[in-house]
Structure 1
């Protein structure tokens, strides 16, 4: 008897849906019964419902046999990009930090418009941890209660609670305790704890927590809209949303942590492509078993051991030293062997082409460093994707129309696109605009629309456009290569018809079945993830035993979120020693994934349709919206399980925000504007600004760098914000920033420049100083992993310089020497 899963992916141009028979994955079609591509509507939810209806009608499956619906959407990030005040709330930031972190206050580095919309005040309280787990200062309950009253008095109802080293707080001493006190004093506050949002790295974790808190209301509104659509479709299975790393999160948890779902599109496409091409079978055969499985007796139990923790084989990394002689000899022996091909996924959509590399685990290669969300620096796990403006709707321009210096007959393809107006504007459908799809239809490669409408395109124009498309693809593919190994490309997406013939530098090009809906397939096959990111002081403990225990915790977390116990595997193990520590200290990052389990309560009953729209197992992360007790919120609507489901009705934009029975009691009742009752997803109701996410930390945008000159007069350089950006980048490239990144020092310099104005900060040559000039030196030392979490108060070096000068009876000095 078959079971089914539905996947939906919402893109800027198209909304894709696919339905899979999970027990037919071994067949050539990989179990894909039907797929559907529709234009994305301004009202996202109605477009999703229409796509699901189409695949249900095409597949004619028994709806009671559908195990889950998984949706990838960009709706949450859109509210941030547009700085739409109707969908965002002001956020009060409460730091548990003792005397530290003042040098860089909350919202540092935010784009000006988003800062203006979100800033709900900053509060510095006692609390926080040292890297070894000792409290910086005990949490002061009276101080926390006073802060709660002050926040309520300011009119703010959402709090981002951020404690120093809170991700290492396994005893719930800081943020959880602070949250409980805040909500006991002010039950109307919704509190988001940073430890549930991101890893160590104070500013990036705080930024992500602020953004998450700002879109909580929108997260719950969108989730409720999705669940109402499922009720209208008579689907009673669990509802999941796709996370940034390609794994799934239940809808209720996603509503509490919407920031984790903002960039799921590329991940869905990459994992879907690997699945359709059958690479998951290959990885299943070659990967070590690091998870739960069945032994020879059939009993399910733990089967991974410490010896099997080969990080290179599970997509991890180990940064603890140079290559040994034995390792070098083995590597030399393998030189003559045939290299394993590097797998690249090329997803050509309607507007852009995304290229990503696959790891041996079958998951996309993750982007290093940090990620900007709406111009705000955060630390999230997302695929490393290179995108170019080439898609099926890309505009094709000929000769001088593409650029003034173009040669006669030259052809330009993209980056501008007709987007969701493809049917109305492309020539094969009677429109006025020549697109990339028109070109491939004109040369007979595909049959689409009316080919007679593009029969007048000259052969030389068609060939020139074809050459330009291939050039763009070859260039972006070359950027993603990491070795000289053969390159195998998985070509997917609705615009994959643009790729014809051989692509230079590609050894094999594969178009898997149903490749046009790879993104929706990726959503349908998404797995559930358990993650551990911790800093451990070994203190005589065996390192492998510590890593093994962390793997156990990751597996348990995945199972608690709803993963099938017999399918969970470790897919990533990262280990990084921390320098300058008195004891051996390592940071361990573990990821375990497994397919969603079939809920025990299957088949799903209509009486539990709403409650079943979340994971069958509770998430270990508490909801940021939960209050101290239900009795403190008498306004909550009752939601008895025996209440009948509302009658099915057509989906309209205004219905998305109308009151409905929530999937579970939610105490999130922030005061809203009257116009919130309108369709906040419709294009016409947006109140944001077009350049809201223009980053303040990249002032060189729009500057003619080739002709830019710094302000140097009489041997003195008066740096501008552009100069500071260039200095920061140069120091990072040359490695003169010591062991840590230059970003934090760059932010401090920008703040100083803004506070004192251009001219007060000066850079001079030592040769220009007088012989009796006094120059001071102040310096930090220690592990960057610690300094970047326990931020400075801002006066430490200044106090040290002043004290030395006082001891030396120096009342003035002429400059400060940078130590690196």
Structure 2
């Protein structure tokens, strides 16, 4: 292609180095609207063992086919799957062992590093860890100062183990601008272990202690290989005389400098699928203005994701996973299967199989049409398509029969239809875009697709996406609102984040703020979490002012064997899946046939039970209660250590049994950073040391909603207590105060929650032996909470079994279990669009619960009053093309949901300015993610989330008396002009113990109290 380069200063080169092919494009973004999309030249060839050779060949070929000169190029942007492949493939030649130093004191001891990793990944990467002094409170004050001697002692151990990659992770380190604990600890490590790779967690990710640490560990493990690989990428750039900046694409469709990518390779892990999807959006332009499925078929794998109407991929939820490792930065929601142009085709017992293994980048030598002896997907496609004339087609047709081709096509069609169906949230058909070099193997029609489109240049969509990447920056911090308003702080942060984007290469004139969020912190005076993100186009007028690629004295040249590797012919892993050869410690149960273990009226909780209960607890949290994730990890640790967790029916208690209660209290934002130590158990021990009325013989959760829903079982299973937990709680949901509980509703005691103890884990204990009312207990503890780090463990004096049977909201652990099972089954069947209906069936049917609304969050406001987060979220009925809903007519218009930590009401916003009450407390109003069926808490509400609003009728323990409605209803939340009207008819949850006990007599036992 001939092209005039006169006055052309903004040409972009995009290169994508995949596991099979290396693709390249030279593109003029100023001509993107023209028929040729501004594509000046492109080239594709097999990836070389030494990737810099392939990059050199691709760029050289493109220069030869056009008259573009090196001086015309403003930037080179490279996307690569090298780093993520090393993790997915568990490649010991490319992954380093890592040591972790936590600056946390006694906190987080029950969730050690890699606690939530697949066992094989943990054993491969984690070489050592230690919990040492350090960490901050949420207000920026010290938990404790770091101890130099302690860190040096750990360095000695790390050196003895031969570990050269070290992660330092401090509690609330992302807001540490004063003490710089991670930086100081890194300085000590650098002195003690020269030439070590030290990764600071605060540089990798934001708030979320475990998830940030996980990301930092993976980053540290891949660091040495990434540095070597990126150096190799720079070799052909220098050799070809390109004097321009070199960028690497990252997960969100924006770019990193080469030096930054060498320090933070984890930010590139999902860039391959993102590049392909962004390239697909570029190729179809304004032709399609709806959500479409992008199917990217390479040489080894097929990646499938949803491309939203805004041109960006659908993202995973607040947390993302890679090979079972949970992290807290956004990644595209992608699923992969082992199908590509190089997939090996076998005939076993007259049955054709395709993949998952592949000849990969050796297609041109291994495939039959190119003189090899391995039948591949490309061979069968060529034989079955007379319009394709490559390689030795005649030879191939002698080897592969027409019947083989017919069966092969049926298998490929079935594989693609299955993965497309798995990604859909509705049975409705949608447009499918086929891209990637292997797209030729896909049929022109697929079940589930309204139409199949293969855009021109689709084979190089990944390179196009890389070339068109933008520049971004994000700030996620906690600020004081004592002297400046939130509006003033956001204005300052917007200026800062725009400047960061400009420093990264964006044009200041067209940088836009694409995300701005304010999250006031519960129980913490004058503190808010602020998140601001900016994105802009590259400023090519400054391109030659950007740092040119940094070269060390010794740069790996082509042929350096340290970079050459044979890609293992392994099956690609779905998210969360471990290799079949190693597997997980606990075999996954069949969720359609699984039965819990109930013996002699005692339910012995398993890991499967725990998973389902956790999902259900968060949904019953009605937006509050905090995420149960860290509590789940602690409870799972008890089970894996051989502990026994028992649940009993409340009506099986003896009247003189003593039922204790305890759990955590504080801000959910603090809870995701300052993970539990022993403060909950310490509170129990302090209580019984001071209180002489007898120890508990069973435990009960204060609230089933959120993280506290699991605390009763954790406390009961502890070695100090070893007692069962009652299948019930004192709320049947989550409420913002301890005062809003059913024992207070019944009012049979002047105070239920005295004596009470509160411990902060730092040695401070508050004991309240008596009070004038439970409301006074609440006020005193809330005041103390703000001075004790907004994170404490609490214990309340035990009550009798007879009282428990009168006051309990029964069978709520069972209800959580059933809700979680419904969500898991809906996901397994790929019918998330009906997940709410499945939950309703488990709760008791349409009389007791209903879908209130389906739509998209279009507004969120939050403010902090008296320690609680007040606010409202506005949800708009979303167009079918965005939401894939076949019931859109039922959910037009907008609703708003006010909340005080938890959701208070669902109000339909009428055109005349009035509002209709769809549901209101004490009935439960839960917002669940329409893409995965799990709960979304009030801190996680953000613009653009597709959600389902679920209403559940409250227990009769709340609604049968005026006092219950007074304490838990509208007036308790300041809605004095609104009367409570039941959403439906309450149906008591079915007891798991009753249903799964051996023999029919167990069921009869429970009828006497109905």
TM-score bracket, normalised by the shorter chain, equals 0.7 to 0.9
Partner residue in 2 for 1:210: 217
The CA deviation string for residues 687-712 of structure 1, in whole angstroms up to 9 with x for no partner, is xxx99878999655565555555544
Offset at residue 777 of structure 1 (A): 1.8
Partner residue in 2 for 1:652: 559
Q: Contact 2:71–2:242 at 8 Å: present in 1 too?
A: yes
| Aligned with 1:594 (options 536, 549, 553) | 536
Partner residue in 1 for 2:519: 577
Q: Contact 1:198–1:380 at 8 Å: present in 2 too?
A: yes
What does 1:31-430 align with in structure 2 at a 5 Å threshold? 31-140=38-147, 151-152=158-159, 155-171=162-178, 173-183=180-190, 188-279=195-286, 341-394=290-343, 401-402=350-351, 417=358, 419-423=360-364, 426=367, 428-429=369-370
5+ residue gaps, structure 2: 1-6, 705-1010
Partner residue in 2 for 1:612: 548
Q: Does 1:546 align with 2:429?
A: no
5+ residue gaps, structure 1: 283-338, 403-410, 605-610, 616-636, 640-644, 655-678
The CA deviation string for residues 645-689 of structure 1, in whole angstroms up to 9 with x for no partner, is 99xx972132xxxxxxxxxxxxxxxxxxxxxxxx25423999xxx
Separation (CA, whole Å) in 2 of partners of 1:61 and 1:118: 45
Separation (CA, whole Å) in 2 of partners of 1:684 and 1:510: 31
Secondary structure in 2 matching 1:33: strand
Q: Contact 2:74–2:543 at 8 Å: present in 1 too?
A: no
Separation (CA, whole Å) in 1 of partners of 2:335 and 2:439: 16
Q: Contact 2:16–2:466 at 8 Å: present in 1 too?
A: yes
Q: From the superposition, tell whether residues 802 and 176 of structure 1 become closer, same or farther in structure 2 (CA, over 3 Å).
A: same
Separation (CA, whole Å) in 1 of partners of 2:583 and 2:501: 37
Separation (CA, whole Å) in 2 of partners of 1:231 and 1:581: 56
Separation (CA, whole Å) in 1 of partners of 2:376 and 2:240: 39
Q: Contact 2:8–2:72 at 8 Å: present in 1 too?
A: yes
Q: Does 1:532 align with 2:475?
A: yes
Q: Does 1:2 align with 2:8?
A: yes
Q: Contact 1:13–1:40 at 8 Å: present in 2 too?
A: yes
Q: Contact 1:530–1:557 at 8 Å: present in 2 too?
A: yes
Separation (CA, whole Å) in 2 of partners of 1:457 and 1:222: 40
Partner residue in 1 for 2:712: none
Q: From the superposition, tell whether residues 416 and 805 of structure 1 become closer, same or farther in structure 2 (CA, over 3 Å).
A: same
| Aligned with 2:628 (options 739, 742, 748) | 742
Separation (CA, whole Å) in 2 of partners of 1:437 and 1:16: 21
Q: Contact 1:413–1:436 at 8 Å: present in 2 too?
A: no
The CA deviation string for residues 222-268 of structure 1, in whole angstroms up to 9 with x for no partner, is 22222234333443432222212221111111111112112211011
Q: Contact 1:277–1:490 at 8 Å: present in 2 too?
A: no
Separation (CA, whole Å) in 2 of partners of 1:522 and 1:680: 26
Q: Does 1:29 align with 2:36?
A: yes
What does 1:760-779 align with in structure 2 at a 5 Å threshold? 760-779=644-663
Offset at residue 160 of structure 1 (A): 1.3
Separation (CA, whole Å) in 2 of partners of 1:249 and 1:591: 15
Partner residue in 2 for 1:714: 600
Partner residue in 2 for 1:784: 668
Q: From the superposition, tell whether residues 396 and 213 of structure 1 become closer, same or farther in structure 2 (CA, over 3 Å).
A: closer
Secondary structure in 1 matching 2:137: coil
Partner residue in 1 for 2:24: 17
The CA deviation string for residues 427-449 of structure 1, in whole angstroms up to 9 with x for no partner, is 55565536376246524464444
Separation (CA, whole Å) in 1 of partners of 2:518 and 2:451: 36
Offset at residue 530 of structure 1 (A): 0.9
Separation (CA, whole Å) in 2 of partners of 1:168 and 1:65: 43
Q: Contact 2:229–2:563 at 8 Å: present in 1 too?
A: no
Separation (CA, whole Å) in 2 of partners of 1:559 and 1:578: 29
- Structure with more of its chain in strand, by fraction: 2
Secondary structure in 2 matching 1:377: strand
Offset at residue 518 of structure 1 (A): 0.6
Offset at residue 533 of structure 1 (A): 1.7
The CA deviation string for residues 755-808 of structure 1, in whole angstroms up to 9 with x for no partner, is 3x25x4333434554443333221113332221211111x11112222223333
Separation (CA, whole Å) in 1 of partners of 2:113 and 2:160: 20
TM-score (norm 2): 0.61
Offset at residue 146 of structure 1 (A): 5.8
Separation (CA, whole Å) in 1 of partners of 2:348 and 2:149: 72
Q: Contact 2:604–2:645 at 8 Å: present in 1 too?
A: yes
Secondary structure in 2 matching 1:278: helix
Separation (CA, whole Å) in 2 of partners of 1:547 and 1:693: 45
Instruction: Determine which structure has greater relative contact order: mean sequence separation of CA pairs < 8 Å that are 6+ residues apart, divided by chain length.
Output: 1
Offset at residue 96 of structure 1 (A): 2.3
Q: Contact 2:382–2:393 at 8 Å: present in 1 too?
A: no
Partner residue in 2 for 1:801: 684
Secondary structure in 1 matching 2:509: coil
Separation (CA, whole Å) in 2 of partners of 1:553 and 1:737: 32
TM-score (norm 1): 0.74
Q: From the superposition, tell whether residues 359 and 706 of structure 1 become closer, same or farther in structure 2 (CA, over 3 Å).
A: closer
Between structure 1 and structure 2, the one with the greater Rg is 2
Count matched residues: 690
